[in-house]
């Protein structure tokens, strides 16, 4: 397979993931809104078995806080994949080192860091609530995104150096 074919496949996969994460964020937000204003029973199955009814009964402010973190995480993940789609759409295989791509890679690193920090906060908050005797399942995997942020940050720095070398090379010709 050529690089262009691989990028085309990755573009389709990224679009699918982006759309899926948008649907996920929208579904949680919709179920959350319904559980607040229409029917509190919606908290029993917020999304794909996420039962936060006990938390809803325990305290509305805690319920709103945790679900807000979950919605924020879902939206940030969708935004991350939107940036991936933009990179794959704009990359030029014959001249890949551009300032625009470098900026997008740096932005992905920042978004991954935001996801990681938000996820660690959400996990800590959920564990704190569980120590108070509440029973629900929630885990966001924040440490993975912190690792991803670090890796992408290193790649962004290497990419920036590639742009510098490419510019120097163009000046010497």
Q: Give CB contacts under 8 A, 24+ apart, made by 153-159.
A: 153/106, 153/109, 153/113, 155/105, 155/109, 156/102, 156/105, 156/106, 156/108, 156/109, 159/97, 159/101, 159/102, 159/105
Reduced to 3 DSSP states, what percent helix, strand and coil does the chain have, rounded to the nearest 5? 80, 0, 20
Total domain count, the chain: 1
Specify the 3-state DSSP secondary structure of 42: helix
What's the pLDDT score for residue 173?
54
Look up the domain containing 121 and give its range: 3-172
Confidence of residue 74 (pLDDT cuts 50, 70, 90): very high
**Residues 151/99, Cβ–Cβ less than 8 Å:** no
Between helix 142-172 and helix 99-131 the angle, nearest 10°, is 170
Residues 153-160 have a mean pLDDT of 92
What's the pLDDT score for residue 59?
86
Give the tens place of pLDDT for each residue, 111-137: 999 999 999 999 999 889 889 888 877
**pLDDT higher than 70, residue 171:** no
Residues 7-15 have a mean pLDDT of 92
Q: Is 138 left (phi over 0), alpha (psi -120 to 50) or beta?
A: beta
Distance CA 155, CA 137 (A): 35
Terminus-to-terminus CA distance in the chain, angstroms? 32
């Amino acid at each position: 397979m050529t690089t262009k074919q691989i990028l085309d496949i990755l573009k389709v996969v990224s679009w699918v993931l982006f759309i899926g994460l948008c649907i996920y964020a929208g579904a949680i937000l919709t179920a959350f809104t319904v559980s607040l204003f229409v029917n509190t029973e919606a908290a029993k199955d917020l999304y794909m078995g996420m039962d936060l009814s006990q938390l809803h009964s325990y305290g509305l402010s805690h319920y709103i806080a945790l679900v807000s973190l979950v919605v924020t995480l879902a939206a940030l993940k969708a935004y991350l994949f939107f940036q991936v789609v933009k990179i794959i759409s704009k990359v030029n295989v014959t001249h890949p080192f551009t300032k625009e791509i470098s900026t997008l890679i740096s932005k992905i690193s920042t978004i991954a860091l935001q996801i990681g920090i938000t996820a660690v906060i959400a996990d800590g908050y959920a564990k704190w609530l569980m120590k108070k005797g509440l029973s629900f399942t929630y885990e966001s995997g924040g440490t993975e995104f912190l690792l991803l942020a670090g890796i992408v940050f290193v790649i962004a720095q290497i990419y920036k150096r590639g742009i510098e070398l490419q510019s120097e090379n163009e000046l010497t010709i």
